[in-house]
Chains A and B, each alone.
Chain A
């Protein structure tokens, strides 16, 4: 049986992993390579590395860091941040990443999804999206609007429409990162995650709000997510991947137990 994936997310600034709530009050957590090795040894199923300031600073992603992570772990990882061209994607994949995550720039230029999928295959192209609840149901009938640039810009684009469009363009996986839930530890935003998981036929990853194993179970069983991103509760030592997996396993959720 296919297992549900638990994916720690490393937000990197200047070659250090940081954690902030809604991109503010960032605190230093450690070296990205050391943390990637640690989480891999603890049994994480995949990793995401975001160079979170690359885009705002208009600079390419730190390729040397990606190379070091690739040399150090033997599990798949995705890389995001500031990726705007096929050349950027190619460099990151050749450095050893399995997937490329595009977000804000794909909203501005959706053809990056189709070009990436054509060049490297859909399995390499992950669409990250940051939906937020909205009352503007005329523009956004699902009740969720896409934001970009670290939640700073509202786009008027309906989140479910955008997910469908991205799938058509060739995205192989969709990460639904709820702006409302991010950093709260009150659980994933199950409504929008479920709406998207039911609307597309590619895997959907829940992101934002993980506080305990029960939240992951809900994302998998209620919102039909295939994977979940976990960050804060791991980074602060509140829990471990092994502990989360044990609790999920005991609750009957299929998770990878050998590593």
Chain B
């Protein structure tokens, strides 16, 4: 069973539908027990870092998330889920986040007023490294993004792919051991996004 962690951070329907399209058994859950017994864990999210950290804490989900990552369960972060895996987000006046990945999450500050924030739409993923989850996907394929903040990892070694927007080239995909995390939304990225999710489902870290 694949657990989709629901911490009141946005609409998870499209995440669920994408895994159902792959014929996976999925459960959208707030239950620590369900997350701990899942074969794979999806950590999605849309919204603000501050409120999300509060919800995670109130729902007592922080320890189960650490535990499944520590014990090697294949783990996929998406969008806000990815951002709050890092140490610190600039959002909401500065929010300390989970600290599972070293790095910060700053806001886009475009010089060009026509580069709007949030970034909304399809942008290219430029591969920095190969990863099993990218099997069968071409370098520079486009994925769907919706975000105002972006991951800035401390270590370049964890960067799997980058994307350029608003004068920065940021880490749009990172991975460490059993953890993969994307700033973009594979579940909304058409056939190519679904391929990434299918690779994740078949991946044995």
A residues engaging B (CB < 8 A)?
Answer: 1-5, 40, 45, 70-71, 74-76, 93-96, 98, 120-124, 172-173, 197-198, 201-203, 224, 226-227, 256-259
Contact: B13 with A40, CB < 8 Å?
no
Contacts of A202 in B (CB 8 A): 116, 118
Give the residues from 93 to 133 in chain B that come closer than 8 angstroms, CB to CB, to chain A: 113-124
Given contacts A2-B165, A201-B113, A259-B192, contact A45 B17 (CB under 8 A): no
Contacts of A71 in B (CB 8 A): 17, 20-21
Contacts of B20 in A (CB 8 A): 71
Contacts of B117 in A (CB 8 A): 201
Contacts of A45 in B (CB 8 A): 121-122
Contacts of B190 in A (CB 8 A): 40, 74-75, 259
Contact: A120 with B141, CB < 8 Å?
no
A-B pairs with the 6 shortest C-beta distances?
Answer: A96-B13, A256-B142, A256-B122, A93-B11, A258-B141, A2-B123
Closest Cβ of chain B: how far from A216's Cβ, in Å?
14
Contact: B114 with A5, CB < 8 Å?
no
Contacts of A124 in B (CB 8 A): 11
B residues engaging A (CB < 8 A)?
Answer: 10-11, 13-14, 17-18, 20-21, 46-48, 113-124, 138, 140-142, 144-146, 164-165, 187-194
Among A2, A95, A198, A259, point to the contact of B119 (Cβ < 8 A): A2
Could you show 23 A-B contacts with beta carbons less than 8 Å apart?
A1-B124, A1-B164, A1-B165, A2-B122, A2-B123, A2-B145, A2-B165, A70-B17, A74-B193, A75-B188, A75-B190, A76-B14, A93-B11, A93-B13, A98-B11, A120-B10, A123-B120, A124-B11, A173-B120, A256-B122, A256-B142, A258-B140, A259-B192
Contact: A3 with B13, CB < 8 Å?
no
Contact: B124 with A74, CB < 8 Å?
no
Contact: A1 with B123, CB < 8 Å?
yes
Contact: A96 with B192, CB < 8 Å?
no
Closest Cβ of chain B: how far from A114's Cβ, in Å?
15
Among B10, B116, B189, point to the contact of A74 (Cβ < 8 A): B189
- State the CA gap A259–B144 with chains docked (Å): 12
